């Protein structure tokens, strides 16, 4: 019922704003080769003597103040007769304009657009990628009015595509409010466009940069299947307007969700192999899951947005972590992965978690809250202090899913929690972290507050054993540590466990420089620091990674050594003791003695006929 109510509300909002004159933007690209976009906005004054315009400082879904106004080059304003008006910049992202009694004013500015990612703007000779937050100046604190965007295409550009509503005029789009405008990317150029329908709703795959490599029609067929898989999981599509996937094949990998679309960056060569397509589909699966979890089912702190300041929430482990858990799980249920392949993917997430010392320092909830200052501002010590709400949240999703199944004796799962959360909290309300946790316990049939408190509010080791026992899984035994027999004793060869220092190093101008020092390693115990130049070990010169690894390996574990380093131009000797490199793979497998009941649980979890295929 709530889903239908939200749809009615979404239909009602345009009625509230339709009576007001829209702010009308025109985007043009007379200097596209120099990465410039020109914006002209005709803004009704509504009789105000002064207008304050502002630009957002961040993009929803990417939790960092980005200071988009730094890319604005000059803001001017005129009245209908072309008479210049006074424009005063009052803060980093606000301008005050004297209207001189005009019914509408025209504001013009130029943007420098040379960040090709899912949250910023990119303009070049052949195409433009335009996002809302870094593009549109609007009247401050007046977001419930309509907007139109018209695109003037340079010669040779074929079309523009947007997640906004298309109008009868070519390359012109409308948005009922500022939230929709910001949430609606736009691409102009000569994109490849393929379409399909699911449940009578049009879906578009809009691709830039495919060249002669990318098969957009085949990709669209796979995209349709992902849409259908996730529709089946939730039981419905959460929208009835066209949905667009903006596929930017620019080399890097990333994604950002929107209400009626998502934008992704990937590599055109993904099309060349089955593994590449599956990697592309993994990102598709993640971003599309956000159409439910994140855009409509959201933490209460993430709406309505404050576009100028941080919007703190402890619940990104739900928004991003649980989405990361389901992105691979649903592809497996849809037949893209075998159960064995899924276990390898889950094992990779677990291994990444276990090899991150930050898990012992930062909780998932704190990681979510501190995203604004840590997640997107990583440094050489982040490995030791930061716990990703993506990867760690995905592993937590596995543990939570198993715990709900255990407590309910197989009668409920995390699937039921997500679906119930959507029915209860999607739309205008949103959920608090405590409400989501309480709902999980309600679905499981027991109070899980204390259990969740330990899992997401306190740093420390995850307890995998209950989940492993429920599904009949185990981790493969650690590999025996590598050894060398190059050190004979009393004419008899003796295996010597290879040594391990544990520092991350890189070559820099012919020098071997320390780039990270993970906690719990011999390097950390010795006091090795980031930016130290590693010169020698026990008088053996080490000028590159290959030589370092050879020397450390052959000296062997438990060997006391001296590290000769240069730190800020001074030579230091640091005593250290080498260790054996950790050999846990964290690779999951079905136990050889797994019971029929455990195999059936795996089959039900992965929705396969055979849980060990």
Give the per-residue pLDDT at 16.
44
Checking if the pLDDT of 225 tops 60, the result is yes
Alpha-carbon torsion angle 246, 119, 130, 280, nearest 10: -20
Strand ranges of the sheet holding 72-78, from the earlier edge strand across to the other edge: 72-78, 104-112, 36-44, 23-28, 147-151, 172-175, 165-166
Position 479 confidence tier, pLDDT thresholds 50, 70, 90 = confident
Q: What is the pLDDT of residue 275?
A: 87
Segment 438-453 mean pLDDT = 98
Share of the chain above pLDDT 70, in %: 94
pLDDT mean over 219-223: 96
Write out pLDDT tens, residues 246-269. Answer: 999 998 899 999 999 999 999 999
Q: Would the CATH topology of 2-189 be identical to that of 292-477+597-613?
A: no
pTM of the model: 0.92
Band of pLDDT at residue 496, cut at 50, 70 and 90: confident
Backbone φ, ψ for residue 581 (5° rounding): -65, 135
* φ, ψ dihedrals at 164, nearest 5°: -75, 175
Q: How many Å apart are CA 154 and CA 123, to the nearest integer? A: 12
The confidence band for 481, taking pLDDT boundaries of 50, 70 and 90, is confident
Instruction: Give the model's confidence band at 290: pLDDT under 50 very low, under 70 low, under 90 confident, else very high.
Output: very high
Q: Where does the pLDDT of residue 7 fall: very low under 50, low under 70, confident under 90, or very high at 90 and above?
A: very low
Fold of 292-477+597-613: Neutral Protease; domain 2 (1.10.390)
Surface-to-core class of residue 318, CB atoms within 10 Å of its CB (0-12 exposed, 13-18 middle, 19+ buried): buried
Contact 138, 53 (CB under 8 A): yes
Q: Assess whether pLDDT exceeds 50 at residue 320.
A: yes
Helices 433-444 & 391-407, crossing angle to 10 degrees? Answer: 30
pLDDT class of 611 with cuts at 50, 70, 90: very low
| 252 CB burial (10 A radius; 0-12, 13-18, 19+) | exposed
Which pLDDT tens digit goes with each residue over 467-477?
A: 999 999 999 99
Model confidence at 103, in pLDDT bands (50, 70, 90)? very high
pLDDT of residue 4: 35
Q: In whole angstroms, how far apart are CA 12 and each of 39, 128, 545?
A: 30, 33, 63
598 sits in the region (left: phi over 0; alpha: psi -120 to 50; else beta) called alpha
What is the Cα–Cα distance from 216 to 224, expressed in whole angstroms?
12
Residues 6 or more apart whose Cβ sits within 8 Å of residue 4: none
Counting beta carbons within 10 angstroms of the beta carbon of residue 557, is it exposed (0 to 12), middle (13 to 18) or buried (19 or more)? buried
Tell me which of 205-214, 377-386, 484-493, 534-543 is least confident.
Answer: 484-493
**β-sheet bridge partners, residue 460:** none
Residue 490 pLDDT exceeds 70: no
Asked whether residue 488 carries a pLDDT value surpassing 70, the answer given is: no
Selection from 511, 516, 392, 512 nearest residue 462 by Cα = 392
Terminal C-alpha separation, the chain: 39
| pLDDT confidence tier of residue 2, bands split at 50, 70 and 90 | very low
* Dihedrals phi, psi of 387, to nearest 5 degrees: -120, 120
Using pLDDT thresholds of 50, 70 and 90, give the confidence band for residue 448. Answer: very high
* Residue 242, C-beta contacts closer than 8 angstroms, at least 6 positions apart: 201, 202, 203, 204, 260
Q: Is residue 174 within 8 Å of 164, Cβ to Cβ? A: yes
| Burial of residue 552 (number of CB atoms within 10 Å: 0-12, 13-18, 19+) | buried
Measure the CA angle with vertex 266, ends 263 and 270; round to 5°: 135
If we measure between CA atoms, which residue out of 169, 241, 121 comes closest to residue 24?
169
The pLDDT of residue 547 is above 70: yes
**Is residue 582 within a helix (H) or strand (E), and if so which, with residue range?**
none
Q: Give the model confidence (pLDDT) of 105-131 as tens digits.
A: 999 999 999 999 999 999 999 999 999
pLDDT digits (tens, 9 = 90+) for 300-318: 999 899 999 999 999 999 9
Instruction: Report whether pLDDT(227) > 80.
Output: yes
> Could you give the CA distance from residue 304 to residue 576 in angstroms, rounded to a whole number?
54
Residue that has been written with the tokens 């990612």 in this structure: 117
| CATH entry, 2-189, from 2.120.10.30, 2.60.40.3650, 3.40.50.720, 3.90.1150.10 | 2.60.40.3650
289: nearest Cα among 247, 376, 229? 229
Give the CA distances from residue 375 to residues 140, 321, 371, 372, 468, in Å, rounded to whole numbers and listed in that order. 29, 13, 5, 7, 30
What is the per-residue pLDDT for 485?
55
CA angle 46, 48, 52 (to 5 degrees): 105
CATH level 3 topology of 483-577? Pdz3 Domain (2.30.42)
Band of pLDDT at residue 271, cut at 50, 70 and 90: confident
Spell 115-125 as b/e; 16+ CB within 10 A means b.
bbbbbbbbbbe
Residues whose CB is less than 8 angstroms from the CB of residue 297 and which lie 6 or more positions away in sequence, other chains included: 418, 421, 422, 425, 426, 431
Q: Residue 426: CA atoms inside 13 Å, Cβ hemisphere, count? A: 28
Domain boundaries of the chain, sorted by first residue:
2-189, 292-477+597-613, 483-577
If phi > 0 it is left, if psi is from -120 to 50 it is alpha, else beta; for residue 97 that is beta
What number is the average pLDDT over the span 580-589?
A: 94
Instruction: Give me the pLDDT at residue 571, please.
Output: 96
User: Helix 322-333 crosses helix 274-289 at what angle (to 10 degrees)?
Assistant: 130
Q: Are 97 and 105 in contact (CB under 8 A)?
A: yes
Q: Residues 158-173: pLDDT tens digits?
A: 999 999 999 999 999 9
- Per-residue model confidence (pLDDT) at position 492: 55
Long-range contacts of 260-264 (CB under 8 A, 24+ apart): 260/163, 260/183, 260/184, 261/163, 261/184, 261/185, 262/287, 262/288, 262/290, 262/291, 263/118, 263/129, 263/131, 263/185, 264/118
Burial of 82 (0-12, 13-18, 19+ CB in 10 A): exposed
């Amino acid at each position: 019922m709530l889903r239908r109510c939200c749809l009615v509300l979404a239909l009602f909002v345009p009625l509230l704003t339709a009576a007001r004159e829209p702010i009308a933007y025109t985007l043009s690209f007379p200097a596209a080769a120099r990465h410039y976009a020109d914006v002209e906005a005709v803004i009704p004054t509504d009789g105000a003597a002064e207008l304050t315009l502002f630009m957002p400082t961040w993009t929803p879904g990417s939790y960092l103040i980005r200071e988009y106004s730094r890319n604005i080059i000059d803001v001017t304003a005129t009245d209908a007769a072309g008479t210049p008006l006074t424009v005063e910049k009052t803060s980093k992202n606000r301008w005050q304009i004297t209207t001189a009694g005009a019914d509408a004013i025209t504001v013009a500015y130029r943007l420098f657009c040379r960040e090709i990612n899912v949250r910023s703007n990119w303009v070049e000779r052949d195409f433009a990628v335009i996002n809302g937050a870094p593009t549109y100046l609007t009247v401050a604190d007046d977001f419930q009015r309509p907007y139109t965007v018209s695109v003037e295409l340079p010669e040779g550009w074929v079309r523009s595509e947007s997640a906004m509503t298309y109008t009868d005029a070519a390359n012109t789009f409308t948005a009922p409010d500022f939230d929709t405008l910001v949430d609606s990317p736009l691409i102009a150029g000569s994109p490849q466009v393929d379409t399909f329908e699911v449940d009578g709703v049009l879906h578009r795959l809009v691709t830039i940069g495919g060249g002669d490599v990318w098969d957009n029609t085949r990709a669209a067929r796979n995209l349709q299947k992902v849409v259908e898989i996730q529709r089946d999981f939730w039981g419905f599509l959460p929208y009835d307007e066209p949905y667009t996937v903006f596929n930017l094949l620019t080399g890097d990998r990333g994604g950002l969700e929107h209400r009626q679309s998502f934008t992704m960056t990937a590599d055109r060569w993904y099309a060349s192999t089955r593994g590449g397509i599956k990697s592309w589909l993994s990102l598709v699966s993640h971003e599309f899951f956000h159409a439910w979890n994140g855009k409509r089912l959201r933490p209460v702190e993430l709406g309505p947005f404050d576009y100028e300041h941080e919007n703190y929430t402890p619940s990104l482990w739900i928004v991003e972590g649980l989405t990361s858990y389901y992105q691979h799980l649903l592809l497996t249920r849809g037949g893209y992965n075998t159960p064995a392949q899924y276990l390898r993917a889950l094992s990779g997430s677990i291994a990444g978690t276990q090899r991150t010392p930050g898990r012992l320092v930062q909780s998932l909830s704190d990681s979510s809250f501190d995203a604004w200052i840590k997640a997107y501002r990583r440094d050489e010590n982040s490995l030791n202090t930061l716990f990703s709400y993506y990867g760690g949240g995905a592993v937590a999703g596995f543990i939570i899913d198993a715990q709900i199944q255990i407590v309910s004796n197989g009668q409920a799962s995390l699937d039921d929690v997500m679906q119930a959360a959507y029915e209860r909290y999607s739309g205008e309300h949103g959920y608090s972290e405590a409400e989501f946790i309480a709902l999980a316990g309600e679905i499981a049939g027991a109070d899980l507050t204390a259990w969740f408190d330990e899992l997401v509010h306190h740093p420390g080791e995850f307890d995998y054993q209950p989940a492993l026992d429920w599904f009949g899984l185990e981790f493969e035994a650690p590999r025996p540590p590598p050894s060398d027999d190059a050190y004979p004793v009393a004419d008899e060869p003796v295996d010597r466990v290879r040594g391990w220092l544990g520092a991350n190093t890189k070559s820099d101008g012919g020098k071997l420089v320390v780039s990270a020092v993970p906690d719990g390693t011999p390097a950390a115990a010795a006091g090795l620091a980031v930016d130290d130049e590693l010169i020698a070990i026990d008088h053996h010169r080490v000028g590159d990674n290959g030589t370092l690894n050879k020397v450390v390996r052959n000296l062997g574990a438990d060997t006391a050594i001296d590290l000769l380093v240069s730190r800020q131009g001074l030579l230091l000797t640091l005593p250290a003791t080498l260790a054996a490199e950790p050999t846990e793979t964290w690779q999951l497998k079905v136990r050889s003695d797994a019971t029929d009941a455990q195999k059936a649980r795996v089959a039900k979890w992965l929705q396969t006929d055979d849980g060990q295929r």
